[in-house]
Each structure stands twice: as C-alpha cells, then as structure tokens.
C-alpha cells in the first residue's frame, strides 16, 4: 500500500532523487508482519506446501500472475519516475515495458514463475533501501540486508531460473530442514517488527 501510494505521488515528493518516499517505521511494520505471517502460515500448512512448491517454478498460472504484477509495477515506475534526459522518450519506454511483457509471455514460458519471482524480488528491494537510507537507527540495517539478499536472488532467478527448482528441491527434501528455514524467516520477521515498533 505504501509502495503504490509513493509511486503515484511522483518523483517530486521523493527526497534525494529517490523513487520512493516511505517512512521507515510503517515499512518496517508491514515487512515484519508480512514475513512473520507468511512464514508462520507456511508452517501451519507445511505438508501441503511440500507437495505444491516443487511445481511452482514451471507453473504457467503463477508465472503469468507474477509477471503481470512485475510488468504493472515497472510500467508505473517508468510512468512516474524522474528519468532525466530520457524524459522525451518516456512514451517509448512505456511501450518497451508492454512489449517485453508480451514477448516474455510468448517466448519464455519455460520457468516463467521462477523468472517472474526474480523480477518481483528486484522491484521489491528498492523500497526497503529507500526507506532505510540515511536513517540513524542501527537496526535499520535489517531492511537493507534483506533487500540485498533479494537483489542477489532476483538476479540469479531471472538469469538462471532452474536454481529456483534446485533450491526448492533441496529445501523440501527434508521436512525438518524446511521447518527450520520457515522458523528462521518467522524469527527474522519478528525481529524486524519489534525493531520497527520500538526503535524506528
């Protein structure tokens, strides 16, 4: 919600040329709740997830949904961002986003969900980095650390999407390992949430 509101307000509201103008506290709260809720929910439905996750990288339906979300997000960014000397070419760039969306759906159906997940991770990293930029709290580093993990994973997922399949296979091969990973994610989300409530 904060991400979309920030995008539509335009670049004139973002300080230091940043794309997003998001307060650290609400971003930390939303991120903490999202991590905590998603990982605890996954723990509750772990057995079902163990059967569904291996199918995700090649899922055409999941890939189409995620790619559409990434395309809309990218379109709005190009529409509202300050692109400097490329300002007269904004219309052409918007057409390029639409063309790449169509071409990706048409020509890159293999591992579409994995590639699209990588795109979402790359897009989602920027708001976290912007919200923590130049903040005095040491605990703000929880957000950039996660953002850079997303960036690295996103780059690999887009360029080498079969890694998503391999990572899921490794994580789900042992239910105990999968549970520990989910618990680690929930703990990280809890730490982010507590830090946001107490220090941001």
In the block, tokens 């335009």 appear at 10
Residues 6+ apart with CB under 8 A from 156: 118, 163
* Alpha carbon distance 144, 195 (integer Å): 14
Residue 1: the pLDDT is 42
Question: Along the 200 residues of the chain, how does pLDDT read in single tens digits?
Answer: 444 444 444 444 454 556 777 899 999 999 999 999 999 999 999 999 998 999 999 999 999 999 999 999 999 988 887 777 778 888 898 999 999 999 988 888 889 999 999 999 999 999 999 999 888 889 999 999 999 999 999 999 999 999 999 999 999 999 999 999 999 999 999 999 999 999 88
Residue 47 burial (C-beta neighbours within 10 Å; 0-12, 13-18, 19+): exposed
Tokens representing 70 are 């990434």
pLDDT digits (tens, 9 = 90+) for 4-19: 444 444 444 454 556 7
Residue 16: the pLDDT is 53
Residue 5: the pLDDT is 42
Tokens representing 134 are 């130049």
């Amino acid at each position: 919600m904060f991400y979309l509101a920030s995008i539509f307000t335009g670049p004139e509201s973002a300080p230091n040329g940043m794309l997003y103008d998001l307060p650290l506290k609400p971003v930390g709260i939303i991120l903490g709740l999202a991590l905590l809720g998603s990982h605890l929910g996954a723990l509750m439905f772990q057995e079902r997830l163990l059967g569904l996750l291996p199918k995700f990288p090649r899922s055409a339906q999941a890939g189409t949904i995620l790619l559409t979300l990434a395309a809309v997000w990218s379109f709005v960014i190009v529409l509202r961002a300050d692109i400097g000397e490329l300002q007269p070419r904004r219309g052409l760039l918007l057409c390029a986003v639409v063309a790449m969306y169509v071409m990706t759906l048409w020509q890159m159906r293999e591992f579409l969900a994995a590639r699209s997940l990588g795109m979402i991770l790359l897009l989602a990293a920027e708001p976290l980095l912007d919200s923590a930029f130049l903040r005095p709290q040491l605990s703000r580093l929880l957000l950039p650390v996660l953002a850079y993990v997303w960036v690295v994973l996103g780059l690999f997922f887009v360029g080498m999407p079969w890694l998503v399949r391999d990572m899921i296979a490794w994580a789900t091969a042992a239910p105990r390992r999968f549970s520990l990973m989910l618990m680690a994610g929930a703990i990280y989300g809890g730490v982010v949430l507590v830090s946001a409530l107490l220090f941001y």
